[in-house]
Amino acid sequence: MDTLKTFNNASKIIIKIGSSLLVNSDTGLLNDGWLRSLAEDIDMLKQQGKQIIVVSSGSIALGRRILQFPIGKLSLEQTQASAACGQIKLARMYEEVMHPFGHTTAQILLTLDDNDNRKRFLNARATLSTLLTMGVIPIINENDTIATDEIRYGDNDRLAALVSVMVGADILILFSDVDGLYDKDPRKFPKAIRLETVAEIDSKIFAMAGSTGTNLARGGMKTKLIAARTSMKAGCAMVISEGYKRNPVQNLLNGGKCTWFKPEHDPQVARKHWIASMKPKGSVYIDDGAVQALQNGKSLLPAGVHKVAGEFGRGDAVEIISCKGKRLGAGLIRYTKSESELIMGHKSTEIEKILGFSGRAALIHRDDLSW
Q: Which residues bind ligand GLU (CB under 6 A)?
A: 19, 57-61, 83, 141-142, 144, 155-156, 217-219
Nearest approach in angstroms of CB 58 to ligand GLU is 5
Between 43 and 144, name the residue whose CB sits nearer to ligand GLU.
Answer: 144
Q: What are phi and psi of 25, to 5 degrees?
A: -70, -25
Between 152 and 334, name the residue whose CB sits nearer to ligand GLU.
Answer: 152
**Taking Cα atoms as reference points, which of 165, 158, 179, 282 lies closest to residue 226?**
158
359 beta partners:
none
Between 14 and 60, name the residue whose CB sits nearer to ligand GLU.
Answer: 60
For residue 93, how far is the Cα from the chain centroid?
A: 21
Q: How far is CA 293 from CA 276, 282, 371, in A?
A: 20, 21, 12
Between 156 and 212, name the residue whose CB sits nearer to ligand GLU.
Answer: 156
Between 7 and 153, name the residue whose CB sits nearer to ligand GLU.
Answer: 153
Between 47 and 75, name the residue whose CB sits nearer to ligand GLU.
Answer: 75
CB 264 within 8 A of CB 233: yes
Nearest approach in angstroms of CB 121 to ligand GLU is 19
Which residues, including other chains, have CB under 8 Å from residue 83's CB and lie 6 or more apart?
A: 59, 60, 63, 144, 145
SS3 112: helix
Q: What are phi and psi of 176, to 5 degrees?
A: -150, -160
Q: How far is CA 28 from CA 21, 23, 297, 355, in A?
A: 11, 6, 51, 52
CB 82 within 8 A of CB 88: no
Between 110 and 239, name the residue whose CB sits nearer to ligand GLU.
Answer: 110
Burial of residue 188, with CB atoms counted within 10 A of its CB: 0-12 exposed, 13-18 middle, 19 or more buried: exposed
- Counting DSSP H helices and E strands in the chain, the numbers are 15, 13
CB 224 within 8 A of CB 157: yes
Between 3 and 59, name the residue whose CB sits nearer to ligand GLU.
Answer: 59
CB 176 within 8 A of CB 217: yes
Nearest approach in angstroms of CB 156 to ligand GLU is 4
Nearest approach in angstroms of CB 153 to ligand GLU is 7
C-alpha count within 13 angstroms, C-beta hemisphere, residue 87 = 19
Between 142 and 339, name the residue whose CB sits nearer to ligand GLU.
Answer: 142
Rg (CA), the chain: 22
Between 223 and 259, name the residue whose CB sits nearer to ligand GLU.
Answer: 223
- CA-to-CA distance for 311 and 228, rounded, in angstroms? 35
Nearest approach in angstroms of CB 105 to ligand GLU is 16
